[in-house]
Structure 1
């Protein structure tokens, strides 16, 4: 079940949660041929849009987050909490669920 909100800017992740927008796969080949949507797979790559302040350890100290706003990351194929804004869908993941950061 997804949650519908009006503006993605009004969403602030809590604790160790990360707001990610999945990057859409190309629907056009290098030679210019358009692919039908049914043949295009969903990528496991996303862009970090917002990051929570970090989880608390047993002593009450904030643990640093592994990603920052603007990072490109690898995310699990399934999981996360979907958030729908208009026609676009975003996902909230825990920092520990992010598989890797893509360095350019």
Structure 2
């Protein structure tokens, strides 16, 4: 166990878009593990900030997602 002060913050977000997934060495596609509309847990640091139409979005790799809320 870690003391609360030593733990980083975990952020909640809603997925607004996903790509087709990553490609392996032979061209096979590995689909992403989340879908549009799902709520996910993200690390406090990381992601790439993108501004589109005056709205801020953050891009995360599938492997950076800490978890997702199940319905």
Q: What TM-score does the superposition give when structure 1 sets the normalisation length?
A: 0.55
Q: Which one has the largest radius of gyration? A: 1
Once the two structures are TM-superposed, the CA of residue 84 in structure 1 deviates from its matched residue by 2.0
Structure 2 portions without partners, runs of 5+: 1-8
Structure 1 residue ranges, 4+ long, deviating more than 3 angstroms after superposition: none
**Relative CO higher for 1 or 2, CA cutoff 8 Å, sep ≥ 6?**
1
Q: Distance in 1 between matches of 2:10 and 2:65?
A: 14
The answer to whether structure 1 residue 45 and structure 2 residue 17 are counterparts is no
Q: What TM-score does the superposition give when structure 2 sets the normalisation length?
A: 0.78
Aligned to 2:46: 79
The answer to whether structure 1 residue 99 and structure 2 residue 63 are counterparts is no
The answer to whether structure 1 residue 56 and structure 2 residue 56 are counterparts is no
